[in-house]
Amino acid sequence: MTKTIIVYGSTTGSTQTLAEEIESTFSKKEIDAKLVEVTDIVPSELADYDLIVLGCSTWGEGELQDDFIAFEHDMKDLELDGKKAACFGPGDSDYTFFCEAVNILEARLESCGAALVVEGLKIDGDVDGQLDAASEWAEEVIRNMS
């Protein structure tokens, strides 16, 4: 069985909503994922999983959501060779650096040796009307993870 974790950082709840939808889709496909807020784990725990899904919103001018900043920094010494990974996040295309957090986390995962299985999911604006896109993306992750 593929051990899967979804880690999210969310200030106003949008990323959390996406994370819950992705977890629910995994569950319907009989993929039992651990869903955890980034403040509740340390980076080294990621190495216990086969599939690592990171979700983070973008704040400031293309920066990670506050809770993810130290976590991403502390990921730099992780060795994730052989792990599969995928990233998602909400943002707003009115900003110059749309969903830059997804790009930052993808680069970090790849630098640690993980392989990205799909293109990152970037949701523009209110997430509530776009949960189908999150669900479809989660299904694509499942199709590509083996």
Ligand X SMILES: Cc1cc2nc3c(=O)[nH]c(=O)nc-3n(C[C@H](O)[C@H](O)[C@H](O)COP(=O)(O)O)c2cc1C
| Site residues for ligand X per CB under 6 A | 10-15, 57-62, 65, 90-92, 95, 97-100
The least CB distance from residue 30 to ligand X, in Å, is 27
Q: Given the complex with ligand X, which of 113 and 125 has the nearer CB atom?
A: 125
- Which residue is closest to ligand X by CB? 91
**CB within 8 Å of 11: residues ≥ 6 apart:** 57, 59, 65, 66
Min separation Cβ 88 and ligand X, Å: 11
The smaller minimum CB distance to ligand X, of residues 46 and 64, is found at: 64
Contact by Cβ (8 Å): 59, 67:
no
User: 36 near 79, Cβ under 8 Å?
Assistant: no
Least distance in angstroms from the C-beta of 3 to ligand X: 25
Nearer to ligand X, 21 or 78 (CB): 21
Least Å distance between CB 101 and ligand X?
A: 8
Going 97 to 112 to 35 to 20, the CA torsion angle's sign is positive
Helices marked H in the chain — which ranges? 14-28, 66-74, 100-111, 131-144
Task: Kindly list the distances between the CA atom of residue 45 and the CA atoms of 8, 36, 48, 135, in Å, as whole numbers in the listed order.
Answer: 14, 11, 6, 25
Which is closer to ligand X, CB of 13 or CB of 113? 13
